[in-house]
Amino acid sequence: MQFERKSVIVGVSLFLFTLAWGYFLGQTGVTPDSLLHAIADVRALSGLLSIPLAATGFFLALSLGIITAYADRDERTRVYVTTIVPTIVACGISALLFPTFAAWYPLALFFFGAIPFMLETARIKRLELVNFPIVRSSYSGAHRGLQIVGVGILVTLALVAAPQSAALYTTFQDSLFGGKVLQQLDIQKISGDFMITTQRDTLTQVTESAAFSKLRDKEDADVVSFVTLMDQTLVNVSSQEYKDKINQQIEDQANQIDPSTLASQIQKTVPGYEGLKQNFWLLAAFVGTLFFFLFSTFFIQPLAAILDRLRIRLFPWMEALLLNPLPHLRFQPNLHPLNHRIPLNLRCR
């Protein structure tokens, strides 16, 4: 099997881009174990978002874009070798250089196995589609590959989480009932504001009622004292001093709550809570996979399609190099620059 210049360019580019996203993944510090503990410690999830993570997605999208773009530009065996071999070599080097990358080793089988599915999906879609075939086929190919990678992430997280399910649940329980989540939600302030608003509205309704207005016209000393007391109480309830006092009382009461007692009460009253405790490892793996699918759906997949299109605009020489007749002198439909002049019923299928 002879390798042409375009095969070398694709292989080297794919090798470099794979090394790049492997490096940035190593810089994120996100391993299966750290991701699971971040999920368990709810407040730590915000720490996962970072510039290295965005760079990882960017170079991964470039890699996927090259794979899907090359899907139907060469003989099939050569396409497979040109895309799979550089990816395996680059991933192997990244695993040796970056411990964070190496921690995801169970995912390797799924990632390498996803490449043929991406190639075949992009190849078929490019034959079928008429409008915007390049962008849509690249998106479809990346989508298929990332679906398989997502399954691999679920399996990887489940394998890592299962032996430490009890520890992860304990972290989750301490995070949820130990005040971290409640403090982040500022429950004390919400409760205090609700209580003060209720009291103020009640006093306002009383003092503005017709019956109370008649009392204001009375000259009896006790009635005058009562009216003055109600007016003063309404003023006090609306003051900042009273608000601070109520918030402090609520906070003092919240600090007296034993987290373990609260957790025990919830376990007894909430249906299915015991099942959550026993299967928390599976829930944590599922949540981690869900985060990946959100990141890939709204960032990696669209970026792979867009970058593939930009590659054609910015590097026309690369497109001209890739756009050669396949064996048996068969041009690929929807990719040839004169394709828009060919009637649909005469295009190659």
**Total residues found in the chain within this entry:** 349
Contact yes or no for 26/97 (Cβ under 8 A): yes
Portion of the chain with pLDDT greater than 90, in percent: 31
Considering the domain architecture, whether residues 43 and 135 belong to the same structural domain is answered as yes
Considering the domain architecture, whether residues 100 and 26 belong to the same structural domain is answered as yes
Q: What is the pLDDT of residue 152?
A: 94
Contact yes or no for 65/305 (Cβ under 8 A): yes
Considering the domain architecture, whether residues 38 and 115 belong to the same structural domain is answered as yes
Residue 180: inside a domain, yes or no?
Answer: no
Q: What is the mean pLDDT of residues 73-102?
A: 92
Angle at the Cα of 344 from the Cα atoms of 338 and 313, rounded to 5 degrees: 35
* Amino acid in position 299: F
Q: What is the pLDDT of residues 232-265, one digit of tens each?
A: 888 888 888 888 887 777 777 666 655 566 556 6
Q: Where do runs of H (alpha helix) occur along 29-107?
A: 32-40, 51-69, 76-97, 99-102
Total count of domains within the chain: 2
Residue 178: inside a domain, yes or no?
Answer: no
Q: What is the pLDDT of residue 175?
A: 76
Task: For residue 84, name the pLDDT band (cuts at 50, 70, 90).
Answer: very high
330 forms beta bridges with 326
Tokens of 284: 């944590």
Residue with structure tokens 């489940």?
A: 158
- pTM: predicted TM-score of the whole model, two decimal places: 0.68
Residue bearing the bigger pLDDT, 188 or 54 = 54
> Pick from 280, 302, 321: which residue ends a domain?
280
Residue 44, pLDDT above cutoff 50: yes
Residue 303, pLDDT above cutoff 70: yes
Residue 179: inside a domain, yes or no?
Answer: no
Considering the domain architecture, whether residues 205 and 243 belong to the same structural domain is answered as yes
Q: What is the pLDDT of residue 51?
A: 92
Considering the domain architecture, whether residues 39 and 157 belong to the same structural domain is answered as yes
Considering the domain architecture, whether residues 96 and 126 belong to the same structural domain is answered as yes
Tokens of 190: 């919400």
Residue 271, pLDDT above cutoff 90: no
Helix (H, G, I), strand (E, B) or coil at 326: strand
Considering the domain architecture, whether residues 245 and 323 belong to the same structural domain is answered as no
Considering the domain architecture, whether residues 271 and 313 belong to the same structural domain is answered as no
Considering the domain architecture, whether residues 122 and 203 belong to the same structural domain is answered as no
Output the average pLDDT for the chain.
79
Task: For residue 115, name the pLDDT band (cuts at 50, 70, 90).
Answer: very high
Per the structure, the complete domain to which residue 198 belongs is given by 186-280
Q: What is the pLDDT of residue 116?
A: 94
Residue 335: inside a domain, yes or no?
Answer: yes
Residue 164: inside a domain, yes or no?
Answer: yes
Q: Provide CB contacts within 8 A for 156, sequence distance 6+.
A: 32, 104, 106, 107
Considering the domain architecture, whether residues 126 and 16 belong to the same structural domain is answered as yes
Considering the domain architecture, whether residues 241 and 122 belong to the same structural domain is answered as no
Q: What is the pLDDT of residue 52?
A: 92
d(CA 78, CA 4): 10
> Pick from 280, 297, 326: which residue ends a domain?
280
326 forms beta bridges with 330
Residue 181: inside a domain, yes or no?
Answer: no
Residue 146: inside a domain, yes or no?
Answer: yes
Considering the domain architecture, whether residues 233 and 267 belong to the same structural domain is answered as yes
d(CA 90, CA 104): 14
Residue 125: inside a domain, yes or no?
Answer: yes
> Pick from 249, 280, 311: which residue ends a domain?
280
Q: What is the pLDDT of residues 195-221, one digit of tens each?
A: 888 888 888 888 888 888 888 888 788
Window from 15-24, 26-35, 177-186 with minimum mean pLDDT: 177-186
